[in-house]
Every structure is written in C-alpha cells, then in structure tokens.
C-alpha cells in the first residue's frame, strides 16, 4: 500500500501536458481517454462515454482575409480546435473469489486543430487486483492502437507560396501508438469515500510523422498525466466531487508549461450536478461552469469555459458536452438438459 502511494506521488511530480494531447473539462468522467488502467468499472456492465469539446468558438483563420494578392477575402474559416472522444469499456472477473479482474475497452479520439487532424483508435487492457475484501484496488494497463496525423484541406493563402514546409494539399500518415498507466481506488480515505488516483503516460513510443511530403513533419512526445479525486458527503442528499488533473509534456532538453485542472462539482439527490473548474497553463487559461443530470446508469453533462488568457480577444468561450451510459448484461451458465431415452427408462 505505501509503495503504491509513493509511486503515484512521484509520478505526480512529473505530471502534466502539451497541447499535442487534447484536454477535457469533464476529465473526471472520461479517464479512459488518457489512462488505460481506468477502463472497466463494474462486472456485468458495458459502459459507453462520449465527450465533444468545442474550443475557442469563432476563432477565425484571418489568413483568408489577408490574402496574398492584395485583395482581402470576404469569407473566413472557423479553425477553432474541436475534439471528439468515445470510450467503451467493461470488466471481467477471472477467479471465483473475485480478487482478480481484466478491464477491457476501446478509446477513439478525433482531434482537429486548425488544418491538422489527429485520429487515434486504441484498445485498452488492464489487470486489476482487489485487496482487503475489495476495500482497495490496484490496476496496471496499456493502450495499443493506431494514430493517424496529417493536414486536411489546407485552403489558407500562403505568405510564401513556395515554402516547402507548408503542405498545399491533404496529407496524412498512420503509425503505431502506445499508452500505459496505473490506477488505484480505495473505498474510504479519512473523511473521503471512493478515493481514486491514477498516473499514466501517452505517446510512449513517440511516433515521428515524417512521410507527409516536402519538409512537413510532426514528432509526438511523452505526455504525463496524474489524476486524483474522491467524494465527500456534506449531508445525506448532497456530496462534493473534488478532482485534480496534472499534465506535462516533455520534448528534448526542454518542456512545456505544466497544466493544472481543478474541478469541484456537487451532486444533489444523486440526480443534479453543478460546479466550477479552473485551468492553469503557465498563466490562467480558463474558468468553467459545469451542470449535469444523473438518472440510474445515465449521466449527462455540459460545461462552458470562460477564456481568461489573451485568447479571449478572439474567443467566444469553449463548450463541452458529455454523456455516459452503462448498459447491464448478464452471462448465464449453460443449462444442463437431461433427455430420457427408451434404453434408460
């Protein structure tokens, strides 16, 4: 137990991000997107989650207005980043004592930033071990799949039409992608219940996209994530859901500014959710308002990010929609059929 928490805290010291990886305001509810060890919550359920993150609305491509022939264009393209994520996961027990489990899932991410597009399809697998009669659980997992990166319909006008580093047509390349992570859960930690902590690294193989034509290329780098959170009961009908996410991306001899996401939501009557979030990336980046609805196995969420950085001059804020549903299923053992024949009557 002590060794496990020590490892997570060491990983937390490295944690955080670069914008090569998308970010989500509902990061508590789609952890499979960045930590394969979190896939699989309960046996007997297939859980599906989806998040659409529409960042910096109305951020336009002014290069179309500027033009290169001295004649301004009258139309502009909205090149604001958009990210769509779908996760599918379930849990299988592999012993009758219900101490060992296999979590399995599929994660799909489609990330569009300007004219660049990154699409990944990844299989998440993990081994889970329950200890102290289920009071604690530790999982270790890996995500394996393909990642496609490239440029789609680059219709901007060049300042230098002969620049070999700027593609003038759609190009893309697909490469192998690997993620890894650990995840720890405990039913109670002091005054908190359902405590969880996870640490993961994405882009483990650091894919290098060099076959894109001309001198255009992209090197993906390691990204480190640490997440932890819990529930705190204020009274029988209201509980708080504090969550912290730390991210960092490292490339060569220098790194990106660390990003810290803080979220505090409250769930009333196990049905209505509301709260606030804060994102800091070098400087303050955004403040968020979250609302949601829960009914049985269905969860719905919406958030609006108020841009605080200088991007606010060209941004109308960020919208995000989240949906999660767990579909129950059961596997019945085969029924023994006894047939009587004249020989044994």
Domain ranges of the chain: 2-252+312-344
Residues 64/78, Cβ–Cβ less than 8 Å: no
**Per-chain mean pLDDT for the chain:** 84
Q: What pLDDT sits at residue 133? A: 87
Q: What pLDDT sits at residue 3? A: 42
Q: What pLDDT sits at residue 12? A: 36
Q: What pLDDT sits at residue 301? A: 97
For residue range 68-113, list pLDDT tens digits in order: 454 555 555 567 889 999 999 999 999 888 899 999 999 999 999 8
189 vs 135: CA distance, rounded Å: 10
338 vs 86: CA distance, rounded Å: 46
Structure tokens at 33: 């997107």
318 vs 304: CA distance, rounded Å: 6
Which of 244, 238, 207 lies closest to 222 in space, CA to CA?
Answer: 207
H-run or E-run covering 142: strand 136-151
Q: What is the dihedral of CA 124, 31, 88, 238, to 10 degrees?
A: 150
Task: Tell me how far apart the terminal alpha carbons of the chain are, to the nearest angstrom.
Answer: 61
Residues 285/260, Cβ–Cβ less than 8 Å: no
Q: What pLDDT sits at residue 85? A: 97
| Segments in the chain below pLDDT 70 | 1-19, 60-78, 156-159, 161, 251-257, 282, 331-345
Q: Which pTM does this prediction carry?
A: 0.84
Write down the CATH number for the domain with range 2-252+312-344: 2.40.128
């Amino acid at each position: 137990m002590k060794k496990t928490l020590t490892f997570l805290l060491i990983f937390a010291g490295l944690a955080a991000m670069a914008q090569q990886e998308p970010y989500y305001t509902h990061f508590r509810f789609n952890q499979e997107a960045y930590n394969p060890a979190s896939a699989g919550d309960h046996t007997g359920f297939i859980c599906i989650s989806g998040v659409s993150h529409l960042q910096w609305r109305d951020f336009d491509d002014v290069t179309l207005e500027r033009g290169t022939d001295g004649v301004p264009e009258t139309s502009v393209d909205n090149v604001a980043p958009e990210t769509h994520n779908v996760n599918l996961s379930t849990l299988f027990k592999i012993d009758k004592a219900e101490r060992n489990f296999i979590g399995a899932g599929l994660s799909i991410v489609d990330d569009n930033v300007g004219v660049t597009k990154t699409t990944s399809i990844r299989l998440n697998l993990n081994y889970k071990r329950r200890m102290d009669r289920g009071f604690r659980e530790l999982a270790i997992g890996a995500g394996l799949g393909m990642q496609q990166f490239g440029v789609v319909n680059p219709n901007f006008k060049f300042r230098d039409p002969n620049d070999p580093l700027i593609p003038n047509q759609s190009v893309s390349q697909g490469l192998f992608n690997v993620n890894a992570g650990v995840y720890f859960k405990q039913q109670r930690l002091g005054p908190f219940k359902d405590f969880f902590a996870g640490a993961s690294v994405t882009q483990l193989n650091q894919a290098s996209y060099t076959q894109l034509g001309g001198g255009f290329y992209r090197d993906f780098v390691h990204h480190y994530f640490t997440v932890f959170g819990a529930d705190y009961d204020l009274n029988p009908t209201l509980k708080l859901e504090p969550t912290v996410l730390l991210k960092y991306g490292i490339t060569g001899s220098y790194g990106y500014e660390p990003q810290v996401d803080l979220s505090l939501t409250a769930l009333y009557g196990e049905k209505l959710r509301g709260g606030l979030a804060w994102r800091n990336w070098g400087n303050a980046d955004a403040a968020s308002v979250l609302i949601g609805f829960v009914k049985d196995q269905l969860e719905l969420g919406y958030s609006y990010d108020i841009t605080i950085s200088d991007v606010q001059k060209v941004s109308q804020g960020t919208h995000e929609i989240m949906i999660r549903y767990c579909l129950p299923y059961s596997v019945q053992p085969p029924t023994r059929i006894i047939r009587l024949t004249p020989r044994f009557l």
